[in-house]
Every structure is written in structure tokens, then in C-alpha cells.
Structure 1
Amino acid sequence: MSTPVHVPLRDLADAVGSVLGPGPWRQVDQQRIDTFADATDDHQWIHTDPERAAAGPFGATVAHGYLTLSLVPTLLGALVVVDGAAMGVNYGLDRVRFPAPVTAGSRVRASAVLAEVQPVGGGVQARFDVTIEVEHGAKPACIATVLCRFYGAEVSA
């Protein structure tokens, strides 16, 4: 299992260009898909009906794209830890694509590039170019430009 890279908050800008990962594999099972369907009221058969989905376009149920995207904080957290940050928040996304499905039972993992760090009031904003791959997949399941903000006493302007 890989260990996340630890970067002090005050040195985060010096790490721009760093390639992170790939991280550890995470299982996306039917229970996780069903729980996400319940939380979002999205019970489309391609997600929640294994029998019908077996005859469908993917040959099995598939995770919601937004379920895959919702794993980014956990997957990214397995790649990098910003030491000295009192708080980190998801600030947003600049671009998201879902090139390939994640079928139930698949495993996914992330890699990322720290693409940019800018000062913001009381902290820094980091842009990560994240790729989530599916084990044995030909294409990534998700490619996203993720914006995170880190706040803490160690920030230098």
C-alpha cells in the first residue's frame, strides 16, 4: 500500500509539478452504489438493478459518475497530506469528465499532479489534475481538475 506524500503547507507552492501516486485501490461494490443511489434519489436501473443491467450496455451495474467524483477527497488524501494545515476545503472543480464506467465490484485508484498553488486570504488554493483509473480498464473512469483550499498558521504570503 502506498503512503501519502507529506508536504508542509508553507512549502506547498514549491511542490508544483509533483506527480502524486498512484494511490491504493478502493473497491466500488454494489452496496456502495446502492447507498449513493439512496442518498441522491438516483435509482436508475443501470446503477441499482443487477439483473437488468447485466443485459444492458455495460454488462453490469455501474457507479454513478458523481459517486466516482465523490471519492476524490478520499483518493487524493491517500496521495498527499498537507502538514500544518488547520483546515482543508473543497473549493470546486474546473473540469470533470467520465471517459469510462466503473462497474460494480471494480477497484479504482487515483493519481494526480499538483498543477498550481496560489495564495488566498489566510491560506492557499491548490489545483490538482486528478485521474481516477479502473483496475484493468483501458480508459480512466474520471479526469478532474480539483481546487482545494488549505488554511493554517504556516502560510506565507
Structure 2
Amino acid sequence: ENRIDFPYALNDVVITRQETTSMITVEAEINGKFLSMFWGDGLIVATPSGSTAYSLSCGGPIIEPENDNFSLTPIAPHNLNMRPIILKDNVEIKLKVSSRLPLYSLGLDSRLYHMNEEDELILKKADFSLNLIFPKNVSFYETLRQKLLWGNDKRN
């Protein structure tokens, strides 16, 4: 069993293949109920603060910072009908990974761990919180407009 020195992530948890170009399979349960099998390059579990990073690049939704949610976003899914899903952050997410090689990579906010198929992941919201500072003169929506160029059409 792998031990993770700091088992917390502020932005995202990323499960990806390791040492292979073959797909991995991620079996997901939510509160003990089977959700789905994800076939592809991996899966991202993002918090609101992580929803505008890797998850967004993979087609995941943007989550407002005030929302109490996680998103599950497949990375290059093999099934074209596999889409991201938004979950309340009070759930327990259990993930079991399988691959041609019995290895996969686990990223916790860019800290990388090498895992084995036998390692089951249980993800849930931490029992503590972090206070963040937001500038009063800049809104979340203004930041989205600036960084994602929303509403900018060079044709006009």
C-alpha cells in the first residue's frame, strides 16, 4: 500500500496512465453506489478552484468558487458519450484503476505519486478549510472574461 505524505489537494486530483500508451480504466463509486467505468487516458476530480485548470482544458465545467462541488472530468475518453459530472462535495468518491500495466500515476495538485492497481483511492472533502483572499475590485466573472476572452470578438 502506497503512503501519501500529504494526502490533500486544493485544486485537483488527477489519475493518469503510467509507462504505457494504452488506456486505463477507472471504476467510480459515489457513496458506495456504482457511477461508471471511465476508459481513456485518465480522470480528473476538481474542486471549484481547480475547475479552471486542467479540468477545463479537458472539457470540464467551470465551477463558481462559492459552490460546494467536485467535478469528475474524463481525460481523452474512449467513449464519446462519457461527459463530466458535477457532484456535491459531501460525497465519498471511491476509484479503482486498472491498466495493461499494473501501474498508474496520481497527481495531487501537481505532486506526483506512482500507484499500483491494488491501491484503491477514496476521495472526500477534508475536515478543515482554507481561507483565501480575493481582491475586492475584481470579480470572478471579470477574471473569466479577461482570461478566457469571453465577449471578445475581433470581427466587431
TM-score by length of 2: 0.27
Q: Tell me which of the two structures has the higher relative contact order, counting C-alpha pairs closer than 8 angstroms and 6 or more residues apart.
A: 1
TM-score by length of 1: 0.27
